[in-house]
Structure 1
């Protein structure tokens, strides 16, 4: 087994006031918002599934904190991009729907990054809508020659996006969590050493993680997290 360096990088926790620079409706289920601010000069995000606290004021005047993954950060322009998944109800979703250039918020974190090596023989990425921005960032950052297998659940077909095509990229979109679980159950893990990343709804992520462990995925080469849980607000948990 090749020794690979999983690098954990810690950052000083800092709250950074930001303002909305641009707003783009990515699809029926997503809005992309670009933020700027002078304190972003010290911002760092080295891993695709880093988490930041997005702090804002809701319509009732209450301060609300929600976890998000940075979609990208442009060090040259000091612009931070976050994708917001839209829901029928939810303070962050409502804020994003109504966001306009000049609106203010606060970004806290990330506390650190776990940098996952890119030189595995293959990369398995399992996500639902909540973790799609993190998965998309990982695909963008992996070398084009990397062997990628992705299973992605989204509620609306319009939320499916086009990634740069390559012969060694196998990307499958499904409509339900159960369909995604079925694909994982039927999946034969490729030869060689691979890394698996699973993130999404709590029960779904637990099921996917357990199936992959049963298939022989090395625990030290897998990362799984629940980005949300049915019936719970502001839920995030490593599993």
Structure 2
């Protein structure tokens, strides 16, 4: 019996208070924040689209953190409950105990507003990841499709794929200044879809010709777009078990919590 192409690995749910050690603006609308905490020595992040929950205090300062009790997640009595948002670990260095998270900067988002002004010493709560969806690296090709919100997952996947792996990426950004560069040993072909020029991800994806062979398609970004593109590739005859489509946000909701982590 063939091994499954993808496997879900469960992790023990833990909550940490992590401190900012670097805050950078890698493009005009993307902030890269590096966090550290001694407990990161036991932090699990096995997959490029893992999700953690970032907890930000609504009143500033350190957020309260929950604990796992007999009835599940329990919050300290009397403490203001922080807001939580799901984010993808862009990279993780276990030796340095450093977790990197990229934040798309936009108006109306609590976490985006926090990231735009983050400074050394600021602290947030981090919960998870609860699990990792691990895709084997023994297919003929990989296709990665998404908008800015998917770039952390797409960038991490590009950089982690082994040498001579064929990967095609299609990424929608607001304008040319939001493009990123990646260091990879894989055979990468990347196409940038520029919204400022009237281009759209869904149209560009539907014009794609998939490489020959057996490949895995990862789609993430706006919910209805991800759903439509999954249906498109299934209609084209691609094995639905070799497609993952995730909705990271919904059109019209500035601070949509995708619920991937917990």
TM-score bracket relative to the smaller structure: over 0.9
Match of 1:236 in 2: 258
Match of 1:36 in 2: 36
Q: Hey, what's the Cα distance between the residues in 2 that align with 1:17 and 1:171?
A: 36
Where do 1:80-229 residues align within 5 Å? 80-164=99-183, 168-176=187-195, 179-229=200-250
1:130-188 Cα deviation digits (max 9, x unpaired): 11111000000002311111110011311101224779421000123962222222222
Unmatched 5+ stretches in structure 1: none
4+ residue runs over 6 A deviation: none
Q: Hey, what's the Cα distance between the residues in 1 that align with 2:159 and 2:186?
A: 15
Instruction: Answer with 161-170 or 128-137: which moved more.
Output: 161-170
Q: Which has the larger radius of gyration?
A: 2
Q: Hey, what's the Cα distance between the residues in 2 that align with 1:5 and 1:167?
A: 19
Q: Hey, what's the Cα distance between the residues in 2 that align with 1:43 and 1:167?
A: 26
Instruction: Answer with 148-157 or 1-10: which moved more.
Output: 1-10
Q: How many residues align?
A: 238
| TM-score, scaled to structure 2 | 0.85
Query: 1:165 and 1:11, CA in 2 relative to 1: closer, same or farther beyond 3 A?
Result: closer
1:165-224 Cα deviation digits (max 9, x unpaired): 779421000123962222222222221100000000011111111111111111111111
Q: Hey, what's the Cα distance between the residues in 2 that align with 1:203 and 1:235?
A: 15
Note the C-alpha offset of 1:119.
Answer: 1.4
Q: Hey, what's the Cα distance between the residues in 1 that align with 2:186 and 2:8?
A: 32
Does the CA-based 8 Å contact 2:142-2:217 persist in structure 1?
yes
Note the C-alpha offset of 1:59.
Answer: 5.5
1:20-47 Cα deviation digits (max 9, x unpaired): 1111111101010110112212111000
Could you tell me which of 81, 89, 97 is aligned with 1:70? 89
Q: Hey, what's the Cα distance between the residues in 1 that align with 2:41 and 2:222?
A: 33
